[in-house]
C-alpha cells in the first residue's frame, strides 16, 4: 500500500510561506495553467487577509527527499492554492498595490488605498505585521505515489471551473505526460498564432494523439477524448510511446509548411484537418505537394465562393458550401471525412484517397 500521510504545516503564516517560496515547486505537471487570476482577484485576496477574513486551505505535496532540478532544490510542490500563494508572494514583492477603493474595516480613519507592501510597512508597520502573521491553513501530503497526488488535485478542483484540457492534464497514466512533451515541439512554440493559455495547445495535442491512434477518421468529441485518456490510465509509457512518435513525425512535416504565428492555424477545426491531411501525405510521400500557398489559395477560394452564394447560391460550388457548413461540427467524424475529401480533391486531385466520387459529385 502506498504511503499517504496528511499533516498540517505548523506555524504557517503569510511571511513564513513567503520565506519558504524557494523550496516550493509552484508548477508541478498536474497543475493548471498559471497567470489566470486578474489583478482585481489578487487585490481582493490581500483585502481579505488585511481585514481578517478566512482564506481557503493550501495543499502542498511533501517530497520524501528534496527534488533537485538544475540548481534548484524543492521540498514541496503546490497541489492546490497556486493562485492564492502567488498573489501573496507578488504583494510582498511590491508587484501590485492595494485597490483604490480599499477599506480597512478595523479603523475607518486609516487610509490604505493604493499602498504597496513596502509603503504599508513604512506608514503602518503594525498593520504590515498583522498581514505577515496572518495564519494560513497549509496542509501537506506526504507520499511518493504521484497518482494519489493527481487524484487529490482533481478532487479539490472538481467544483472549480477547470476546462476539459485541464482535467485531462491532471489525470493519471502516461498520456498527460506525452501531451506535455509534444507541446515542446517547434510547431507549438513557433507556428501557432495563439498561446497555451487554459491548455489550448494540450487540447489540440490530445486530439492529434487520438487521431494518430486510429486507422480511419473518426470523432474527436470530448466524450471520446476523455474515454481515450481513461482507457490508458493504467497503460505503461511503452504502450503509448508510439503515439508521440506518430504525432511528432506529422508535426515535423507541418513545421516546414507553416510560417511563425501562422494565421492559417487560427481555427482549431482546420488544425485537425491539416493534421490528418499531413498524416496521409507523410504516409504517401506527398508532403512536398502540400504547400502553404495552396492552403492559402484554398481559403481564398472558399471566401469567394461564399460571396458568390450570397448573390446566387446556384452558381456557387456546392462542395465548398458543404465544407463551410460542416465547419460547425469540427469534431464530428463524418464532417471531418467530407472536409478532408474536399481538401484532398482541391489540393492533390484525390491522391490521398479521402475523396469519394459519390460524395464529391461534380454535377451537384
Q: Is the pLDDT of residue 135 over 70?
A: yes
Question: 79 in helix, strand or coil?
Answer: strand
- DSSP per residue, 292-355: HHHHHHHHHHHHHHHHHHHH-GGGS-HHHHHHHHHTT-TT-HHHHHHHHHHHHHHHHTTTTS--
Gap between the Cα atoms of 52 and 137, Å rounded: 14
* pLDDT: which is higher, 218 or 76: 76
- Give the model's pLDDT for residue 170: 78
* Cβ–Cβ under 8 Å, residues 272 and 220: yes
pLDDT digits (tens, 9 = 90+) for 304-317: 999 999 889 999 99
Q: Is the pLDDT of residue 321 over 80?
A: yes
- Give the model's pLDDT for residue 291: 96
| Side-chain half-sphere CA neighbours of 216 within 13 A | 6
pLDDT digits (tens, 9 = 90+) for 39-61: 999 999 999 999 999 999 999 99
Question: 87 in helix, strand or coil?
Answer: helix
What pTM does this model have? 0.61
* Beta carbons within 8 Å of 152's beta carbon, 6+ residues apart: 59, 79, 80, 141
- Give the model's pLDDT for residue 151: 67
The residue count of the chain comes to 364
- Range with lowest mean pLDDT among 105-109, 172-176, 340-344, 358-362: 358-362
* The three grid cell numbers given for residue 74, joined into one nine-digit string: 524543492
Q: Is the pLDDT of residue 145 over 80?
A: no
Q: At what angle do helices 333-348 and 318-326 cross, to 10 degrees?
A: 140
Q: Is the pLDDT of residue 33 over 90?
A: no
SS3 content of the chain, % helix, strand, coil (to 5): 55, 10, 35
| Rounded percentage of the chain residues whose pLDDT exceeds 90 | 72
- Give the model's pLDDT for residue 358: 46
* Cβ–Cβ under 8 Å, residues 36 and 83: yes
Q: Is the pLDDT of residue 363 over 90?
A: no
Stretch 181-197: mean pLDDT? 93
* Cβ–Cβ under 8 Å, residues 345 and 360: yes
pLDDT digits (tens, 9 = 90+) for 237-289: 999 999 999 999 999 999 999 999 999 999 889 999 999 999 999 999 999 99
Amino acid at each position: 500500500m502506498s504511503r499517504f500521510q496528511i499533516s498540517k504545516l505548523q506555524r504557517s503564516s503569510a511571511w513564513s510561506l513567503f520565506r519558504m517560496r524557494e523550496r516550493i515547486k509552484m508548477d508541478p505537471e498536474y497543475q493548471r495553467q498559471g497567470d489566470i487570476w486578474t489583478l482585481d482577484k489578487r487585490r481582493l485576496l490581500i483585502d481579505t487577509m488585511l481585514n481578517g477574513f478566512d482564506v481557503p486551505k493550501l495543499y502542498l505535496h511533501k517530497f520524501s527527499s528534496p527534488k533537485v532540478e538544475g540548481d534548484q532544490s524543492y521540498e514541496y510542490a503546490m497541489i492546490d492554492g497556486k493562485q492564492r500563494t502567488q498573489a501573496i508572494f507578488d504583494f510582498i514583492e511590491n508587484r501590485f498595490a492595494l485597490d483604490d477603493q480599499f477599506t480597512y474595516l478595523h479603523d475607518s480613519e486609516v487610509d490604505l488605498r493604493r499602498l504597496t507592501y513596502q509603503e504599508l510597512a513604512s506608514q503602518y508597520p503594525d498593520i504590515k505585521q498583522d498581514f505577515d502573521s496572518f495564519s494560513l491553513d497549509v496542509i501537506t501530503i506526504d507520499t511518493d505515489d504521484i497518482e494519489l497526488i493527481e487524484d487529490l488535485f482533481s478532487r479539490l478542483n472538481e467544483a472549480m471551473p477547470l476546462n476539459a484540457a485541464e482535467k485531462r492534464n491532471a489525470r493519471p497514466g502516461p498520456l498527460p505526460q506525452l501531451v506535455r512533451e509534444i507541446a515542446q515541439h517547434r510547431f507549438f512554440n513557433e507556428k501557432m498564432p495563439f498561446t497555451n493559455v487554459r491548455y489550448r495547445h494540450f487540447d489540440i495535442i490530445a486530439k492529434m494523439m487520438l487521431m494518430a491512434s486510429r486507422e480511419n477518421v473518426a470523432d474527436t468529441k470530448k466524450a471520446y477524448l476523455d474515454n481515450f485518456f481513461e482507457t490508458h490510465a493504467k497503460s505503461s509509457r511503452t504502450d503509448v510511446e508510439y503515439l508521440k512518435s506518430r504525432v511528432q513525425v506529422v508535426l515535423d512535416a507541418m513545421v516546414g509548411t507553416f510560417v511563425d504565428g501562422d494565421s492559417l492555424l487560427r481555427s482549431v477545426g482546420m488544425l485537425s484537418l491539416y493534421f490528418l491531411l499531413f498524416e496521409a501525405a507523410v504516409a504517401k510521400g506527398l508532403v512536398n505537394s502540400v504547400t502553404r500557398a495552396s492552403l492559402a489559395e484554398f481559403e481564398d477560394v472558399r471566401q469567394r465562393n461564399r460571396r458568390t452564394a450570397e448573390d446566387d447560391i446556384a452558381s456557387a460550388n456546392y462542395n465548398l458550401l458543404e465544407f463551410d457548413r460542416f465547419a460547425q461540427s469540427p469534431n464530428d467524424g463524418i464532417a471531418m471525412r467530407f472536409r478532408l475529401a474536399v481538401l484532398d480533391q482541391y489540393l492533390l486531385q484525390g491522391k490521398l484517397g479521402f475523396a469519394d466520387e459519390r460524395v464529391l459529385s461534380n454535377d451537384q
